Amino acid sequence: GQSLEQPSEVTAVEGAIVQINCTYQTSGFYGLSWYQQHDGGAPTFLSYNALDGLEETGRFSSFLSRSDSYGYLLLQELQMKDSASYFCAVSNYKLSFGAGTTVTVRA
Amino acid sequence: SAVISQKPSRDICQRGTSLTIQCQVDSQVTMMFWYRQQPGQSLTLIATANQGSEATYESGFVIDKFPISRPNLTFSTLTVSNMSPEDSSIYLCSVALAGVGGELFFGEGSRLTVL
């Protein structure tokens, strides 16, 4: 099966940088994805890493180390609208999600 | 991208009844999935809906409890049968356009409360 670990919650102020770590155990690993979900909304895709290294998309970056079974999502220049839950997910033949990290951005 | 419509968006159901959730996609997709998300929790895959064949269920989920139909490449239904309060949850339809490793698009979910 799959198991993923990520922190349950993070609080930071506007303009700060937050890093959400994700460690995983799985068989048949294809890649690591990140999803954002605002309260009451649908999860939306943020990024996908199939290879080691850093992927940057605007204020958000995602990193993967396959040898360490580890990845992280970096949120820069935090804004109030970034307050949401963030899920890492590993893919083999299906997508399996971590428990989620609630990010709260304070003014 | 894909636009997914789910019905109903929410419902309150009585114990012992069944409810069917519909999922309509604006384009033809091969891979369609049904997830369950209890409030404040993670997303758990119920099954993969296969067009033209039976759905593939994950451990802990059975066809008698969660029958799924996939009559074509744009539509699927999930039925929650003989509901109990433990079935109170958000049920989400999702699709992949470019393989499992790529982006999943989600519907807005169907929030079921079982009394």
The total number of residues written for chain A in this structure: 107
Instruction: Provide the mean pLDDT of chain B.
Output: 93
Check: CB of residue A11 under 8 Å from CB of residue A17.
no
Contact B41 A44 (CB under 8 A): no
Which pLDDT score is estimated for B45?
Answer: 95
Average pLDDT over residues A13-37: 95
Q: Which residue has the higher pLDDT, B35 or B100?
A: B35
CA distance B114 to B22: 18
Specify the pLDDT at position B23.
Answer: 98
Residue A62: which pLDDT band, with cuts at 50, 70 and 90? very high
How does A46-76 read in b/e, with b if 16+ C-beta sit within 10 Å? Answer: bbbbeeeeebeeeebbbbbeeeebebbbebe
pLDDT at B101 (0 to 100) = 61
Residue A96 has pLDDT above 80, yes or no: yes
Interface mutation vs chain B, best among A46, A49, A85, A97, most B CBs within 10 Å = A97
Instruction: Say if the Cβ atoms of B101 and A91 lie within 8 Å.
Output: yes
pLDDT value at position B40?
86
What is residue A53's DSSP assignment?
A: E
Q: What percent of chain B has pLDDT over 70?
A: 97
